[in-house]
Homo-oligomer: A and B are copies of this chain.
Amino acid sequence: MITVALPKGALLKDSIRLLQAVGLDFSAFLDSTNRQLQIQDPHSSAKALLVRAQDVPVYVEYGQAQLGIVGYDVLREKQPQVAHLADLEFGQCRLSVAVKQSSPYRSALELPPHGRVASKFVRCAREYFHNLDLPVEIVPLYGSVELGPITGMSEAIVDLVSTGRTLQENGLVEIEELFTSSARLIAHPLSYRLNTGNLSSLVAKMRDIAALAKVGS
């Protein structure tokens, strides 16, 4: 029996659509009255877990889920021991450096040395500024990172940007891009190697659909 870990939030709808296309129905998770975190496909023995995006790789790493769908940003930040199987070609966004529109800085290298950068992506942010040889203090936040520059706590933020609406509403402007992200299919390495529950045929189908999506986009 296969278990798939699915992320709450922005990637859920497209993840469920993709799984439906390969014959697994977990649409019950989209029902707003649903409180279950673990459901079974009505037509097969496959199960799905609904968890926070950051927890998807944890369930896959420990083998409680053989497959998982999660943003590349989470994989870059947490670096879990999982097999990266495919770019699913949805959930596109980017991890960017942003500053106040009124700020004088227009590139990362212009930021003041020993300035502060607020971020939920502490590891990615630290690595990025380290590679630039620019010493900054990373201020770890859990949410609403845009408040960092607004309150004057930090000169800049490193955060995910998709439409750019949140930045704009908060008077911030993107000045650098660290990397682009999209939804990824990941697997528990041993389960994938042993082809538990005929994982490989499922993965092949999902790869085909993702490839079609890429051509279509």
Contact = CB atoms under 8 A, between A and B. Distances in A.
Interface of A: 3, 8, 35, 37-38, 49-52, 54-55, 58-59, 62, 64-65, 116, 139-144, 146-147, 150-153, 169
B144 A55 contact: yes
Q: What are the 6 closest A-B residue pairs judged by CB atoms, nearest first?
A: A52-B143, A52-B142, A64-B151, A54-B142, A64-B153, A62-B153
Number of copies of this protein chain within its complex? 2
Contacts of A3: 151
A49 B3 CA distance: 41
Contact of A51 (B52, B143, B169): B143
A171 B17 CA distance: 31
Contacts of A142: 52, 54-55
A55 B146 CA distance: 12
A144 B37 contact: yes
